[in-house]
Structures are given as C-alpha cells and as structure tokens.
Amino acid sequence: MAFEIRILPGSAAPIFRQIVDQVRLAATTGQLRSGEQLPSVRALAERLLINPNTVARAYSELASDGVIESQPGRGAFVSASRQIYTRPERLRRIEPLVNALITEGLSLGFAVEELTDAIRARAAQVRGKQS
C-alpha cells in the first residue's frame, strides 16, 4: 500500500482528526480503493505510537460518515465510494472554512488571488500523491 498515515506531532489538529482527514482524503482521491482493508486499530496505534483509543475514535467517526465499514472481528474496509451529502449540505459544510480563510487571509494582507493560488498549489500537491 502506497498510502501511509502520518501524524505531525507539532500540529494543532488533534490526532484523531488527522487520521480521519487523511483516510477520507485518500478514499476520495482513489489512493485508497473501495474494499481495501485498513490496518487494525491496535496495529495502527502501535505504529504511530499513540493510544489505541485515539485510533478507535477515528475509525468510529469514519464509519459513521460512511467512509469505511468496520466488521467486528474481521477489520475495517473502505466503503464503496458514494456521494453521501446533497449539494446544499456540501456547501453548508464547506462554508465556514471558506469564511475562515477569507477572514484570516484578508486580515493578514493577502490578496484574493494569492489565496486562490495557494489553494491550487496545495491541491496539486495533494493530488500528486495519488497513486
């Protein structure tokens, strides 16, 4: 598997959130294929040197979001990809992040073009990892 979950120790984001985000993104971009098996809670916790509860919480959130399916005793598997949110719901979910970027960005003195450029650059980076 080319896909490796990584925890950034200096990050402000909580560890369980980092795991959730990485798996969700990988599943969306195709880095993780539908049906693929994730490492077990215990194995991942050991590899990342973190508390198993933290991994369990991440998997639980992923399962309730429909990204993975946990089959007790067998493991966790990537779900068949599907749009789970309607377009209005997706807009509702992205809006606060757009607002935060605008507020912080303009206050820091960035031009709108600099922000959109940064988005494109970062997106290219992320997509580049796609296998």
Partner DNA sequence: GTGGTCTAGACCACG
Partner DNA sequence: GTGGTCTAGACCACC
Residues lying near DNA in the complex (CB under 7 A) are found at 14-17, 38, 40-43, 50-51, 53-54, 56-57, 59-60, 63, 70-76
What residue ranges in 13-92 does DSSP mark as E strands? 68-71, 75-78
DSSP 8-state secondary structure symbol assigned to residue 10: T
- Binding to a second copy (CB under 8 A) within 16-35 occurs at 21, 24-25, 27-29
29: β partners:
none
Q: Are 58 and 41 in contact (CB under 8 A)?
A: no
Give dist(CA 6, CA 22) in Å, integer: 8
Tokens 């809670």, residue located? 41
Q: Are 78 and 40 in contact (CB under 8 A)?
A: no
Q: Find the shortest distance in angstroms from Cβ 106 to DNA.
A: 21
- Binding to a second copy (CB under 8 A) within 37-96 occurs at 61, 64, 66-67, 69, 71-73, 77, 82-86, 88-90, 93-94, 96
Which stretches of the chain bind a second copy, using CB under 8 A? Answer: 10, 12-14, 21, 24-25, 27-29, 61, 64, 66-67, 69, 71-73, 77, 82-86, 88-90, 93-94, 96-110, 112, 115-116, 118-120, 122-123, 126
